[in-house]
């Protein structure tokens, strides 16, 4: 990556501290007025996703067609770490969070997605999209992830439900969506992008039955998602 930073932060309420790792691939075809973001949690249960995002960053660095900066955020302490980063990036003060001042800027973040993976083979992608205060991302972003899943032979799901075959299935998925929005506002890393006007989802790949897709396929899905964010306007 062209630029790499460490972003240290502390969460005063629970006496937690951590350090995010940030990499930026600068756009070669335009000035740094807009950016895309890829986030992944630094956890022992998410090692496969970490490997994919690292490989994706290396690949993106070698390409010359990007018209927006790409930020890769390796998030420590999950939601707390990403909240600290976004607050500092947008100069938004939190009384319970302290973090180092960032030494770079890439303009407005127009789109983002987080990556979660369990195992090295999988057959299902759950598209997590609920944000705080009932906010939802652009439906085109959700549809894109579903189409990319289809392209690689994966089963796209929302709220762990796949394609609906009956009115009862539709009603069950709708009720899950309503309950999730009402009582589970922080579904994942994507959830805290909403207040900043950033369209974001989490793609959670898993192996429900007999997985056939590989981590390479996940990397290609992520690349396709990055290409799509070129069409998102601020």
pLDDT computed for residue 143 by the predictor: 92
Per the model's pLDDT, the better-predicted residue between 1 and 71 turns out to be 71
pLDDT computed for residue 10 by the predictor: 84
Rounded (10°) angle between helices 215-228 and 139-151: 140
Q: Give residues with Cβ within 8 angstroms of 109, minimum separation 6.
A: 34, 35, 36, 37, 71, 89, 193, 196, 198
Domains within the chain, CATH numbers bracketed: 3-231 (3.40.630.10)
pLDDT computed for residue 3 by the predictor: 59
- Contacts made by residues 53-61, CB under 8 angstroms, sequence distance 24+: 53/115, 53/222, 55/219, 56/219, 56/222, 56/223, 57/1, 57/23, 57/25, 59/219, 59/223, 60/25, 60/223, 60/226, 61/1, 61/2, 61/25
The mean pLDDT value for 52-58 works out to 96
d(C-alpha 81, C-alpha 7), whole Å = 9
pLDDT computed for residue 189 by the predictor: 95
Per the model's pLDDT, the better-predicted residue between 179 and 143 turns out to be 143
pLDDT tens profile 124-169: 999 999 888 888 899 999 999 999 999 999 999 987 766 666 777 7
Q: Considering the chain, what is the average pLDDT of its residues?
A: 86
pLDDT tens profile 67-119: 899 999 999 988 999 999 999 999 888 878 888 888 888 889 999 999 999 88
pLDDT computed for residue 205 by the predictor: 94
pLDDT tens profile 205-223: 988 677 789 999 999 999 9
């Amino acid at each position: 990556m062209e630029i790499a930073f460490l972003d240290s932060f502390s969460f005063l309420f629970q006496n937690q501290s951590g350090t995010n790792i940030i990499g930026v691939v600068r756009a070669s075809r335009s000035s740094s007025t807009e950016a895309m973001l890829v986030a992944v949690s630094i956890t022992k249960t998410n090692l496969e996703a970490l490997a994919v995002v690292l490989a994706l960053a290396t690949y993106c660095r070698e390409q010359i067609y990007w018209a927006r900066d790409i930020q890769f955020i390796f998030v420590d302490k999950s939601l707390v770490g990403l909240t600290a980063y976004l607050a500092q990036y947008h100069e938004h003060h939190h009384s319970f969070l302290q973090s180092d001042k960032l030494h770079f800027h890439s303009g407005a973040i127009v789109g983002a997605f987080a990556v979660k993976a369990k195992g090295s083979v999988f057959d299902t992608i759950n598209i997590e999209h609920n944000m705080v205060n009932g906010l939802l991302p652009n439906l085109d972003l959700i549809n894109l992830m579903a189409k990319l899943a289809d392209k690689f032979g994966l089963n796209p799901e929302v709220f762990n439900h796949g394609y609906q075959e009956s009115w009862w299935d539709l009603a069950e998925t709708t009720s899950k969506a309503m309950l999730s929005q009402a009582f589970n506002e922080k579904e994942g890393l994507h959830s805290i992008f909403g207040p900043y006007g950033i369209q974001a989802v989490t793609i959670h790949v898993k192996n429900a039955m007999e997985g056939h897709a590989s981590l390479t396929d996940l990397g290609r899905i992520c690349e396709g998602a990055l290409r799509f964010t070129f069409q998102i306007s601020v």
